[in-house]
Each structure stands twice: as structure tokens, then as C-alpha cells.
Amino acid sequence: MSSEKAKKRGNWTQDNLNKALEAIRKKEISDYKAAKEFGIPRRTLRRYLKSNSNQKAKLGRKFALTEEQNAELCSRIVRLAEVGYPITTKILRLCVYKYCKENNIEHQFSDVKQIASHKWVRKFLKENPTVSIRKSQNLNPARAQKLNRYIVEDHFRKLQTVFEDNEIFGKPEKLFNMDEKGCRLNLHKEPKVLAKKGARRVHIIGNEHGENVTVVSCANAMGASIPPMILFKGKRMKAEFADDLPPGSVCRMTEKGSMTAKCFVDWLHHFGHYKPAGSCVLIFDGAKSHLDYDIVATADQYDVVLYCLPSNTTHELQPLDKAVFRSFEHHWDQQVMLYWHNNGERTLTKQRFAKIFTPVWDLCMTPSNIKSGFRATGLYPYDPNAIPEEAFKPSIASELPVPEQAEPLATSTPTTTSKLRTTSPQPGPSGLSTFKHTRAHVLSTDEVDSVEAALIGDDEDDDTNANLSEDEEEDAGSQSFQDLLPTPIKKTRKVTNRRKAINSRAVVLKRTLFDKKETVDEAPKSKCSKTVSAKGKSKKIQKNESWFCHVCKEDAVKDMRICSACKFYVHEECVGLTKEDNELFICPDCEN
């Protein structure tokens, strides 16, 4: 005989309780009929009638924290997650136990394990829907610091100037974004597969390391994409590499399968065939291979304005990164699994790359995805407020309150540091105008706490606690969640004076930003040339002239000899000399 499942307690709604109590108080129905009609136990109805309250009682044991303490803990959890230092459930359990222990709060946690229970965490999450378990994403500290209001506002100001100078407003077909996507000839992530329930060893056969292939993509704000350029690793190009690629695609070979300055110049020639007539703006990131004199010179040939985004901000400011490539690896892995299923071949080569890439390209480079990327980054329609407030919060740890007597951070003494930490930020209209961003200085824990207090409005409480005497602090005997969950901060780094990178902020690339390179008319300089001294011993002489020969009147890189009379260089073969001839040389012009 199977046992029946126990009925759930409190399996009724607050609305039904209010209706049942109101009907019983008006004597429209008895408590027996109300219990049957509304599904509420009769004893429960009598208890609420006796207490003369309609508020639903909580089931189970009493929660260890009060509503105020619970709200403080939730706000601290949310705050840490916003600035890039979220906590795990285990850290939460440890902190709650310590909080209850140090503040003499009655609890049911184990004193042996000294940690709150998993059941308490489940109940805490259930009663606080504003907090949930989420999957975190790694954020580089440089990205967290550089994506701040100052850098982004400077970016949009310069972008507006570029749009006005080139008449881009209202012309989305002339606004382009270019970006590269690295793709491995393998699975990017371990897929979820079907296997026996409880199996502990589920493997998938495949190469652990796949060769890298770079996809150079470009699209404009109207949603139209340029055929991609594929960069393979190697030296020899084979015709079958381009088979089955999207129409108009081109392939190049590089040493590591990644972008180089020469490939970027080739891509600009490819881009010139598809761009609209007239001037257009090309937005891209500041990778090293994108910053070169030849690139700017080639862009000028096609009337392309190169706009470089500030470094370490492309995850929020670059359209293709924001929308198009977000799902690339997911679609790629699906196509790889489908290819393996249909062909049974577990090895991906350059010849098979196009069979997987082309379907993925069609799924990612859709007009809707492209336009949503431009819209989310504020490029089109132009919107300087497109970046949400949450995106700037990880940069709070790099914001310093402006001291009353500003002094250079690089030469700060212990006294200066002490003044800086005790300086209270002055309120401003924007809430952040009294803070400045520094590149090399990292805040200490005290400085971060003062910044956070100013931003969340807790500075008054901190000042009150600071004025307490030692005896009063001992009597208080309480510790807040902000003390137990401080913001982790790295140690202060030594400030060094070094030249800023070209792309430290948003910039329009021009030829004047780079050292002028040698043109075709300017012959390369020779390294050295062999000559003979008066004693007949050969020696190396640094040559400051070109490889131009005054006999044959040609500029060719060949072994040269200097005339002891006129000091002009000539090719050895033009005057019938070899390396073994160790005698003084006089050119034919001087002999005559």
C-alpha cells in the first residue's frame, strides 16, 4: 500500500485568506464552509479571527536576520556584484554566521562547521527575489578601469565632431565598423550531450588544440555587411581554402593566422570595392596591427576616415563585439557537432573551414543583429546616453575624491596619502563630478570605502561611527555587513611616467600621428660596405648613402666599394672587383 504524499502547509493565497475572513466577519458564511470553499484549514481561520489580523504568518523557523539586516545584506550583495566583486553562496554563508556570532544574534547554525546552512541560503533567495544566482563573466581589470564616464563622454564628443565634419548624421550607409574574430578549428566549449544518467565519464573525441583562423568582418549601420576576409596560418595559399566561402570573400596567409599591418592594408583595398561613393567613417579597435602609417595612407586613397576606439572599451563601444560576435562561438560549436554527425570526420582542416563557417556567418551577420549593435553602442542613432549606468560601476575602484589641496599622486608622501583618505567628497550635480580617474593609482581599502559611502549615501553613518570613543565602540559590539564584505582592492602600484598609447582615448588616425615611412622614391639605406685602408687591411665602414652606383647609374643592393679619392660608392661588379681584391680603389671618373 503506497503512502500518500504529505500535503504542503500554507497552500493558499493571501487573497483567498482576506476574502474568507471578510465573509466570515460579515456572517455571510460559516467557518466550516469557508474552509472548504477557499481551501484554508478551519483552525487557521479561527486563529486569524481571534488575532483580528489579515497578515499571513510565515511558516517554519524564525529567520535569523531582521528585515532591516536582511535589506542591508541584499544591498551589499548587489553592490559588490555591480563593482565587479560578486560573492559566492559559500562566502555568504560564512559571513552570515560570523555576523550572527559577533552581534549575539540567535541562530540555528552549526557551531562546529561555523557556517550557515544551505537551507538558509535557499530560504534567503526565496524571500529576496532581487537577489539570484547568476553566472559571472571575467572582466579584465584594465577594461573595468578604462570604461568610465570620462573616457566614454570624451569618445562621444569626438565622435560627434567626426560625424559633423564628414556629414554622417542621417547617412547610416556611410558609418562602418570593422572587427576581427578569432576562430579555432575545434570546439570552443564543451557541449551538453546525452548519456546514461549518473555517468561520471562522458568524453567527446576531438583534438584538444585547434589551429587559429581570423575572420575580418565589417558592416554599416544600415545592417549591410562586407564580404569577410579570412586569415589562415601558413605561407602557401591553396585554391581550395576559398571554396564554399560567402560570395566575395578573400583569403590571406599570415605567420600566426592573425591580423598584421600588411593584411590590414590589403583589407582596405578589399573594403574600397564595396564602400559607397564619397567619404565614410570606419570605426575599429586600437590593436597594434591597426596603427600604422601605411594603413592611414591607404585609407586616404579611398576617402575613408579612420576612427579608433579607446583601448579596453570595445566590449561596450564596438557594435560587432556587442551584438554580432556574442553568439558566434555558440553557432560555431553547433555546426561543428552537426558536421561531425553527418561526416564522421573528427578533424577540422583549412579545406573544411568554409563548410562550417558559411552557415555560421549567415546566422550571425543578420541585418537585425548588426543594427542592434549600432543602436546599443549609441553610434546610430547617435545617443551619448546609450551605455547604461551599470557598465560604469566596475570603474568605481579607480575613482579618487578630489582633495582640497590637490597634489601630484606620483610624488605623494605618507602625509599626503593621509590627507587624501580623510578628504570627504563634495556633492556635485552629477554625483560623480567630484571624482577623477587615475591611470596608475589604485585605491586602498579605506579610499574605496569612502567613495562607496559617498555614492550610496552612507557617508553620514561612517562619520557618526568615526566619532565614537573606544568605550562606546566596545559597548556597541556590532559589525555591519559592509565591514564583513569589503570591496577587495589590489595594492597600490608605483606610478611611472611613460608615453601614452595612441589609442589611450578615442582618436581619428592621421598621418601626423606616425613616423613618416620611406616612399618608393626614397631608396633604403645600406647597413655597411667593405672598403680598404691605406695599409691594405679591410674594414667595415657605416655607409650613409644609398645603394646607388655612380658607374652603372642604378640603385641595386649589391656589394659596393668606396673610391679613395671622391668617396663615392660603386658596385664591385661594375668595376671588375671581388671580395678578394684588397688594394686601394679609385673609380674610373677619378682616374680620368
First to last CA, the chain: 127
Of the two residues 506 and 572, the one the predictor is more confident about is: 506
Which segments within 351-401 are labelled E, that is strand? 399-401
Q: Helix (H, G, I), strand (E, B), or coil: what is residue 91?
A: helix
**DSSP H stretches of helix in 302-349:** 314-317, 319, 328-343
The residues facing 260 across adjacent strands are: none
DSSP state of 577: -
Cα distances from 171 to residues 175, 221, 271, 276, in angstroms, run 7, 9, 18, 11
Largest CA distance in the chain: 137
CA gap 400, 403 in Å, rounded: 9
**Phi–psi pair at 529, nearest 5 degrees:** -145, 150
The residues facing 401 across adjacent strands are: 435
Cell numbers 593566422 correspond to 257
Closest CA to 285 of 233, 321, 255: 321
Confidence check: pLDDT of 584 > 80:
no
Instruction: Tell me the per-residue pLDDT of 304-338, one tens digit each, with 9 for 90 and over.
Output: 999 999 999 999 999 999 999 988 989 999 999 88
14-51: which CATH topology?
Arc Repressor Mutant, subunit A (1.10.10)
* Beta strand 304-308 pairing with 280-284: parallel
Q: CB under 8 Å to 256, separation ≥6 — which residues?
A: 212, 233
Cis peptide before 381 (omega within 30 of 0): yes
Element (H, E) at 301: helix 293-301
Q: CB under 8 Å to 122, separation ≥6 — which residues?
A: none
Find out whether 565 and 586 touch, Cβ atoms under 8 Å.
yes
Of the two residues 286 and 580, the one the predictor is more confident about is: 286
Confidence of residue 74 (pLDDT cuts 50, 70, 90): very high
CA gap 122, 491 in Å, rounded: 36
Instruction: Tell me the per-residue pLDDT of 490-525, one tens digit each, with 9 for 90 and over.
Output: 554 555 556 678 888 889 998 888 876 543 333 344
CA gap 33, 23 in Å, rounded: 10
Tell me how far the alpha carbon of residue 467 is from its chain's centroid.
Answer: 42
Q: What is the pLDDT of residue 13?
A: 80
The residues facing 233 across adjacent strands are: 254
Could you please report the per-residue DSSP string of 171-220? Answer: -GGGEEEEEEEEEESS-SSPPP----TT-S-----S-SS--EEEEEEEEE
Element (H, E) at 226: strand 225-233
Q: Helix (H, G, I), strand (E, B), or coil: what is residue 253?
A: strand
Q: Angle formed by the axes of helices 350-364 and 328-343, to 10°?
A: 130
Cell numbers 539570484 correspond to 132
Q: What is the pLDDT of residue 542?
A: 40
Closest CA to 257 of 234, 237, 241, 236: 234
Confidence check: pLDDT of 438 > 70:
no
Helix, strand, coil content of the chain in percent (nearest 5)? 40, 10, 45
* Per-residue cell: 250: 578573400
Q: For the chain, what is the mean pLDDT?
A: 78
Confidence of residue 190 (pLDDT cuts 50, 70, 90): confident
Q: What is the pLDDT of residue 224?
A: 95
Identity of residue 421: R
Q: Helix (H, G, I), strand (E, B), or coil: what is residue 111?
A: coil
- Which of 111-125, 184-198, 210-224, 390-404 has the lowest average pLDDT? 390-404
CA gap 569, 545 in Å, rounded: 8
Of the two residues 393 and 7, the one the predictor is more confident about is: 393
* Per-residue cell: 410: 606620483
Instruction: Tell me the per-residue pLDDT of 128-159, one tens digit each, with 9 for 90 and over.
Output: 999 999 988 888 888 888 899 999 999 999 99
Q: What is the pLDDT of residue 38?
A: 86
523-592: which CATH topology?
Herpes Virus-1 (3.30.40)
Q: What is the pLDDT of residue 451?
A: 47
Domain ranges of the chain: 14-51, 523-592
Q: What is the pLDDT of residue 155?
A: 95
Confidence check: pLDDT of 127 > 50:
yes
Instruction: Tell me the per-residue pLDDT of 27-69, one tens digit each, with 9 for 90 and over.
Output: 888 888 888 888 888 888 888 888 776 665 565 566 778 888 9
Q: What is the pLDDT of residue 10?
A: 66
